Amino acid sequence: SVYYAATDVVILRFMIEVCWAPMLAAFSVPLDQSDDEIVTALCLEGFRYAIHVTSVMSMKTHRDAFVTSLAKFTSLHSPADIKQKNVDAIK
């Protein structure tokens, strides 16, 4: 098969529009269910990059969905339940 390199950044917008919801689930579910430091770090890195890309591409709704989901993982609404992964989410 032939590989075609993308030369237009607008293609990224279409790719994000298609896969942002599965990406959000892929970052949120493991972060919620696991206390493993590696899993937490990878999920938070995914959030960081997703927020960055959606911000650069001016995709406000998508960006807000990622930011809101990340904010829920800070557990600032219930300080008694804060774990290390919640502190990492705050950072």
Reported as a single tens digit per residue, the pLDDT across 47-85 is 999 999 999 999 999 999 999 999 999 988 888 888 999
Average pLDDT of span 27-46? 95
Count of other CB atoms within 10 angstroms of residue 16: 16
Q: Give the Cα separation of 34 and 39 in Å (integer).
A: 7
- Taking 90 as the threshold, does the pLDDT of residue 45 lie above it? yes
Contact 40, 27 (CB under 8 A): no
Check residue 12 and give its pLDDT.
87
Q: Give the Cα separation of 40 and 38 in Å (integer).
A: 5
Check residue 7 and give its pLDDT.
82
Surface-to-core class of residue 5, CB atoms within 10 Å of its CB (0-12 exposed, 13-18 middle, 19+ buried) = exposed
Check residue 10 and give its pLDDT.
83
Reported as a single tens digit per residue, the pLDDT across 64-74 is 999 999 999 99
Return the sign of the alpha-carbon dihedral for residues 55, 91, 23, 41.
Answer: positive
